Structure 1
Amino acid sequence: MTSLICTLQDHRDDVNWCAFTSKLLATCSGDKTLRIYNTRDFSELPFSPLTGHGYGVHCCCFSTCGQFLASCSTDATTLVWSMDTGEIEAVLEHPGRSPVRVCAISPDSAHLVSGASDGTLALWDFPSKQLRRTGAVNDTTMVACSFSPCSQVFVTGSTYGDLRLWNLDMNQLHAEKNAHDLGVTCCTFAPSILSGGQVVQFRLASCGQDSHLKIWAINKLSSGACKMQLLHTLTGQSAPVLSCAYSSDGQLLVSGSVDKTVAVYDAINAVLLYTLNQHERYVTACSFSPTSPLIATGSMDKTVNIWRLEDGCSANGGKSIPERSALTSSDGRTTAGRLKLLVSDWSEEDVSSWLVEEGLGGLVDKFTANNIDGTELLGLTKETLASELHIESVGLRSKLLRKVEELKSESVCSGIPDEFLCPITRELMREPVIAADGYSYEREAIESWINTKNRSSPMTNLPLLTTLLTPNHTLKMAIGRWKTTH
């Protein structure tokens, strides 16, 4: 079985990544910080949190020995930290100063790769921290990267949906286009190397916006050519899969999804073992401990859950682990988790999840068919429920409206309303402006973003049709009123 042993609640924004060594756990967040924990009791180290990035931190990874930690950020840098002191050892500025979305250190700790929002890649000599080579894939954002266990090749994944295999000379050995419809979100090599005859084989897991987790075989021939073959497509989660990780023996595979679940698979037989239901928002990160039967999962609910795999965890059956109280959880977590986003910002999937949580799962199909998102949910009336959604039961209509009224009352929170925070800096906006993607940003932050020659939206990754910024006077006045009353 699998049990939740503790919940870490120190980050103040979405948890974007987590990484283990035998002794440490590192987590990073949109709150610009990294936090380091001792895996013995998950107490935070004295020098934690690490503060050095100017914007949110997207990814972090340890060197193999655990002596160093690398982290990358929207601020266009990859920082290398000493795990002895917590001090910054090196600042690696990405070529072109584009926001860095992913970084990976090779198993032999000889190289580091960073991938950016403009599709560029930088290969660094890790011991000297010197830039060695650059590469690029046009018109996309690099969001995934993993080194093979031999450290000689690495795979990248992008929002375009492709997986590309590179060598250390930054030559493309293979391109698997349309590996994931709508985009790749994460990829990771299995730790083992399979060898036979003239072929060396690696296993790679990838996940994406198509709600699939895929297992690939990458065959490296003696001629130097590479072939990539899809072995399994795992469909244990019902929404985009955002993160995946192999266990240290390659026997298990874990993934986190927009449907708020964590799935644990038998990676060899491609069988779903467990579905873990504890997070209250999208599961954005997951990692196995290399030496202990532990999994860490991070989420947009700002928490990191630590799970223990007990004896018998390899049994089949796709068992679901019910929600239970964590050691450090507080009362009312379900309500708090749902309000990480304003209800008006809920997607159709968020509304469907809320219906299920409130015991109204029978209405999901009707709501989905009518494209009911958070804004539509808040505007429902008895008349629309009866005439447009055709909910005939008076009692069911009343129960639904009562739950909606509870949502409205719960939305009055003591913290800063999410729409007052700049999506880039996650700080209260002083000069909000509207960009071509329809979102509002702090003027200085979005201008800096655009000046890095990145013309894609920070929120959608789609191209900005114009760099014109329009002052959002209404939002500025609303922020002013809120500041006056708080």
Structure 2
Amino acid sequence: MVKLIRTLADHGDDVSCCAFSPSLLATCSLDKTIRLYSLSDFAELPHSPLKFHTYAVHCCCFSPSGHVLASCSTDGTTVLWGAHSGQSLAVMEQPGGSPVRVCCFSPDSAYLASGAADGSVVLWNAQSYKLYRCGSVKDGSLVACTFSPDGSLLVTGSSGGDLTVWDDRMRCLHSEKAHDLGITCCDFAPQPLSGGEQGFQFYRLASCGQDCEIKLWFVSFTRALGFELKYKSTLRGHCAPILACAFSHDGQMLVSGSVDKSVIIYDIATQSVLHTLTQHTRYVTTCAFAPNTLLLATGSMDKTVNIWQFDLETPYQGGMNDQLKQLVEDWSEEDVSTWLRAQGLEDLVAIFQMNNIDGKELLHLTKESLAGDLKIESLGLRSKVMRSIEELRAKMDSLSSGIPDEFICPITRELMKDPVIASDGYSYEREAMENWIHKKKRTSPMTNLVLPSLVLTPNRTLKMAINRWLETHQK
């Protein structure tokens, strides 16, 4: 199901980070360089490697559009680059000149966060390149950071083991000891788990550390009720410190890399191990999923980056895929409960069990029956359940037709001919998305969140995958 399709061995020292844009892969290293590759054939771009940093480069990341690349280094700077030109756009010096360990863009590309060895975290204005806000943690170096999908929260992790949550004005909302021996990485799942009442955000967060564990958290934040970070579960599988973790673009898989030289891919819904990859010969320091395509990159202290592809003939379609293949109509009440938990609807499990909702009953639910028969009072919860059921029906339709789900436009539910990537990170048929926007809908068809940009980027990698699939299935 997962195969190694390419090994990149251009760096002269440990690979420290890798990151995808819709069309490029960036890697950085202790050799002081950043390298850029095209996703179409993994050829290195003419302007690669990028050179400016005078010491090791620890982290690199793309802006959501993929047009700007950021890198940060022991030299105390964070540099912005034109991803497609290699031109240096700005050099931002960390206050105090401390080594910068990590950086990440906000979902709307307005800000860039950088964290340093002295515990400082800076929010930079990504347009003016000026310092916007800053803060600091009391214990340890800042080694991890990630924005919530709506940009309202920034979570940082420290070598002291604390997860710290900041609001969009860099006010500390919460700090909690998450990993006793120190945090190494953290990442938000791309989509909210549920909508709910107005102003409500509910997200899944993963953190990993020197204690050899991955912890999953639920994060909620409302202006009225405040913030909550709630521990949910622990994923185990590695036998040594875990150095990196990352969610897939749909939030249904999590990958991790470890000092034990292995890469593990987990099914988030069932919290089981899907794959263990052992091709690296030294510590695995970084891992990243590509947006909207079935590619995974892993980097190591063996100086290589491995590119993995998920089998397009049997694509991963989420944690309940095995049950989908058995058809939802055959689900037991317990299967429905498992599905609800995977959708972030744990609070409804008791109601569904009380009403003996099995797979057949689930598919016949309507907004009216949710309100009248199941007595679910919250309009937001009813809408969330119906959206999840519609997605389930759509997956069943695509499964029965034999077309991989990622080749189907979420709007038309038909095979895409000209796929484009919107600013929500999802791919759509160009004409369908243009019509959606033309009707003055600035919200994402998938998440209902406001689109930060109306720019549509051709997804050439997905188009090639669709063409390859058509060539083998329409003979």
**TM-score if structure 2 supplies the norm length?**
0.65
The aligned runs of 1:319-398 (5 Å cut-off) are: none
- The one-character-per-residue Cα deviations of 1:48-78 (angstroms, maximum 9, x if unpaired) are 0000000000000000111100000000000
Letter in 1 for 2:129: K
Which residue pairs with 1:101 in the alignment? 101
Which residue pairs with 1:270 in the alignment? 271
Which residue pairs with 1:92 in the alignment? 92
Structure-2 change in CA distance of 1:188 and 1:315 (3 Å): closer
| Offset at residue 240 of structure 1 (A) | 0.6
Which residue pairs with 1:186 in the alignment? 185
Aligned pair 1:196/2:201, yes or no?
no
For the residues of structure 2 that align with 1:139 and 1:205, how far apart are their CA atoms?
A: 20
Cα RMSD over matched residues?
1.5
| Offset at residue 300 of structure 1 (A) | 0.3
SS in 2 for 1:195: coil
Which residue pairs with 1:133 in the alignment? 133
- The one-character-per-residue Cα deviations of 1:68-97 (angstroms, maximum 9, x if unpaired) are 000000000000001131011000000011
For the residues of structure 1 that align with 2:256 and 2:232, how far apart are their CA atoms?
A: 17
- The one-character-per-residue Cα deviations of 1:342-395 (angstroms, maximum 9, x if unpaired) are xxxxxxxxxxxxxxxxxxxxxxxxxxxxxxxxxxxxxxxxxxxxxxxxxxxxxx
| Offset at residue 224 of structure 1 (A) | 4.8
Choose 1 or 2 for highest CA Rg: 1
Which residue pairs with 1:432 in the alignment? none
Which residue pairs with 1:219 in the alignment? 220
Aligned pair 1:207/2:214, yes or no?
no
Which sits farther off after the overlay, 190-199 or 165-174?
Answer: 190-199
Letter in 2 for 1:185: T
Q: Is the 8 A contact 1:255 1:286 kept in 2?
A: yes
Q: Is the 8 A contact 1:2 1:313 kept in 2?
A: no
For the residues of structure 1 that align with 2:315 and 2:21, how far apart are their CA atoms?
A: 24
Letter in 2 for 1:116: A
Which residue pairs with 1:286 in the alignment? 287
Aligned residues: percent identity? 55
| Offset at residue 309 of structure 1 (A) | 1.1
Aligned pair 1:148/2:148, yes or no?
yes
Q: Is the 8 A contact 2:34 2:49 kept in 1?
A: yes
Q: Is the 8 A contact 2:253 2:318 kept in 1?
A: no
For the residues of structure 2 that align with 1:296 and 1:238, how far apart are their CA atoms?
A: 21
The aligned runs of 1:229-268 (5 Å cut-off) are: 229-268=230-269
Structure-2 change in CA distance of 1:47 and 1:247 (3 Å): same
For the residues of structure 1 that align with 2:264 and 2:316, how far apart are their CA atoms?
A: 12
For the residues of structure 2 that align with 1:65 and 1:83, how far apart are their CA atoms?
A: 10
Unaligned runs of 5+ in 2: 320-475
For the residues of structure 2 that align with 1:312 and 1:66, how far apart are their CA atoms?
A: 25
For the residues of structure 2 that align with 1:113 and 1:137, how far apart are their CA atoms?
A: 14
For the residues of structure 2 that align with 1:201 and 1:139, how far apart are their CA atoms?
A: 28
Which residue pairs with 1:476 in the alignment? none
Which residue pairs with 2:27 in the alignment? 27
Aligned pair 1:116/2:116, yes or no?
yes
| Offset at residue 168 of structure 1 (A) | 2.0
For the residues of structure 2 that align with 1:176 and 1:269, how far apart are their CA atoms?
A: 26
**TM-score if structure 1 supplies the norm length?**
0.64
| Offset at residue 196 of structure 1 (A) | 1.7
Letter in 2 for 1:102: V
For the residues of structure 2 that align with 1:6 and 1:315, how far apart are their CA atoms?
A: 25
Q: Is the 8 A contact 1:118 1:139 kept in 2?
A: no
Q: Is the 8 A contact 2:244 2:256 kept in 1?
A: yes
For the residues of structure 2 that align with 1:72 and 1:124, how far apart are their CA atoms?
A: 13
Which residue pairs with 1:413 in the alignment? none
Q: Is the 8 A contact 1:273 1:314 kept in 2?
A: no
Which residue pairs with 1:172 in the alignment? 172
The count of corresponding residues between Structure 1 and Structure 2 is 316
SS in 2 for 1:65: coil
The aligned runs of 1:451-466 (5 Å cut-off) are: none
SS in 1 for 2:96: helix
SS in 1 for 2:195: strand
Unaligned runs of 5+ in 1: 317-486
